[in-house]
Amino acid sequence: MSIVLYDLAGADPDLRFSPYCWRTRFALAHKGLPVETVPWRFTDGAVIAFSGQGKVPVIQDAGKVVSDSWAIADYLEEQAPTPTLFGGPTGRAHASFVNAWADSILVGAIARFIVRDLLDIIDSKDVDYFRSSREARFGATLEAVQAGREDRVAAFRDLLLPVRLHLRKHQWLGGAAPSYADHIVAGTLMWPYCASRFELLEANDPVAQWQGRMLDLYGGLGRAAKRA
């Protein structure tokens, strides 16, 4: 029986662009677990009824409901220990640090380059909610937040220096093999990859080369993703 994943979609139901849902999609693929994805949109109330909260990713597995990408990774590791996402307690702590960095630094940095682009791909019924909620969050119009991105992208690339230095010595963030740390960062980068045509990375960047390897994993799961 497949796990059911509620996954953020655009107006096109095949365009899945959530950084958190992509972390879960990579984790499920890493485990080799069958999954059925259900498109969800910002103003849908469906997940609230059975999960008690209104955000995705949410999975249903044999009557069990789990929300939040980190909690889902923990659940999958407990239910299907091999192949491992973490490689033990030390790997879990490493991934926890990467998760905190991605959530507190990387997601917000990326948003300032693509937040207006997102308005062009989401369902029409979500547009008013998305604009008002994000403009309240940023204290500016979406157009103003995204303005001048060509002049700001070099600073964003500098932000990735710790990742770049690691990848100059290791093929994966997990070392010799991909781990949930890879899924966290790659999942986050799937957000701009799917939702925007603005290039955040230079082709010769070790981070871009690692992203290419991530796109090709799991039968090309990321590579096959619908793009804006």
What is the strand order of the sheet 58-61 is part of?
Answer: 35-40, 3-8, 58-61, 64-67
Task: Give the structural domain span for 136.
Answer: 89-220
Element (H, E) at 6: strand 3-8
Residue 220 neighbours by CB under 8 Å, 6+ apart: none
Q: Do 95 and 46 fall within a single domain?
A: no
- Predicted local confidence at residue 80, as pLDDT: 97
Q: What is the CATH number of the domain that holds 174?
A: 1.20.1050.10
Look over the chain and give the mean of its residue pLDDT values, rounded to a whole number. 97
CA of residue 138 relative to chain centroid, distance: 20
Among 59, 79, 99, give the residue marking a domain's end. 79
- What are the phi and psi torsion angles at 97 (to 5°)? -65, -45
Q: What is the mean pLDDT of residues 117-144?
A: 98
Cβ of 136: how many Cβ atoms within 10 Å?
A: 9
Predicted TM-score of the model (pTM): 0.97
Tokens for 67, please give them: 């929300």
Q: What is the CATH number of the domain that holds 59?
A: 3.40.30.10
Q: How many domains does the chain have?
A: 2
**Structural domain includes residue 226:** no
Check pLDDT > 90 for residue 48: no
pLDDT tens readout for residues 204-217: 999 999 999 999 99
Residue 27 neighbours by CB under 8 Å, 6+ apart: 69, 72, 73, 76, 85, 180, 183
Q: With bands split at pLDDT 50, 70 and 90, how would you rate the model's confidence at 45?
A: confident
Q: With bands split at pLDDT 50, 70 and 90, how would you rate the model's confidence at 125?
A: very high
Among 56, 79, 102, give the residue marking a domain's end. 79
Q: Do 41 and 14 fall within a single domain?
A: yes
Identity (one letter) of the amino acid at 90? T
Per the CB < 8 A criterion, the answer to whether 174 and 183 are in contact is no
Tokens for 25, please give them: 């999609």
- Distance in angstroms (rounded) separating the CA atoms of residues 165 and 75: 31
Q: With bands split at pLDDT 50, 70 and 90, how would you rate the model's confidence at 50?
A: confident
Q: Do 142 and 168 fall within a single domain?
A: yes
